[in-house]
Amino acid sequence: MKVILLGTAAGGGCPQWNCACPLCTSALAPRTQDCVAISADGVGWYLLNCSPDIRSQILSTPPLRAGPGPRETPLRGVLLTDAELDHSLGLLMLREAGGLPVYAPDTVLDALSPFRAIVDGYGGWTSLVDLPGLRISSLPVSDKRPKYVSSTGDGPWVVAYRITDLATGGSLVYAPCLKSWPEGFDSFVEGASLVLLDGTFYAPDEMAGVGGPDQLAMGHLPITASLARISGRPGRWAFTHLNNTNPVLDPVSEEHAAVLSAGASLPADGTEFSL
């Protein structure tokens, strides 16, 4: 299985348009909003989440660009972990892909019904039920609903995915939004070739410096809590969905060094894996 990290930042990217924090005004390499592309054969590709930056992410990734026919595209479908706007607005950018297959929990698809009403004018969505060469399983990991959703449905509102290549046995766990380390998650990640974890914030008080709410209230387990769980464990662990306030973005910071010393990584946009 081929895995490409199209974007590795949290909502708004880094730098973020409305922020003048030290990291946003520094000369650090920019990061676009979190999105992953996966393929069993390098020909047909599926997106895990669909960020508002999806157009530039596709155009900067040769395997995802259109061709060889004038309207041929290697994009075969999208799997959504949740209905947050930074994970789903890109679906509107892909409106020209008539009949685009989309998969998500029913509550997430219901929440996105206004999007669907718009996209239906261009060709709509279909249900994504099969990924050739790949086996998909999911685990509910959070009950946090997006701010714009008024529904009181029970969910699941946020899931993690485990994708396994049936030919190689390689497996990816994608969990960019963890409100906690939920029951069953240890078993879910056991033996995975690569685990992409929620790295939105490094510490529980990080947003205080910019007047933001508590991290857990925003539905994100700090990296410090995850490091205690993964330190010394086998497998490849990486953090994605990094907020623009997260000090790990600075490669010379103590926080960046702490992640690496725990055996995890902080891959940049465009990083590729073969599993």
The residues spanned by each domain of the chain are 2-274
Ramachandran bin of 46, using left for φ above 0, alpha for ψ from -120 to 50, beta for the remaining angles: beta
- For 4-18, 77-91, 229-243, which range has the lowest pLDDT when averaged over its residues? 229-243
- CA dist 86 and 84 (Å) reads 6
H helix and E strand count, the chain: 8, 13
E strand or H helix at 263: none
The average pLDDT across 159-177 equals 97
Closest CA to 92 of 62, 59, 34, 53: 53
217 band by pLDDT with thresholds 50, 70 and 90: low
Per-residue confidence (pLDDT) for residue 231, from 0 to 100: 82
Name which of 129, 142, 107, 140 is nearest 46 in CA terms: 129
Q: Tell whether omega for the bond before 156 is within 30 degrees of 0, i.e. cis.
A: yes
Q: pLDDT tens, 137-157?
A: 999 999 989 989 887 677 799
Q: What CATH number is given for 2-274 in this structure?
A: 3.60.15.10
* Residues 21-75 pLDDT 10s: 899 999 899 999 999 999 999 999 999 999 999 999 999 999 999 999 888 999 9
What is the rounded average pLDDT for all residues in the chain?
92
Q: Which residues pair with 48 in a beta bridge?
A: 36, 79
Q: How far apart are CA 124 and CA 97, in angstroms?
A: 8
For residue 152, the model assigns a pLDDT of: 66
- Is the Cβ–Cβ distance between 273 and 2 less than 8 Å? yes
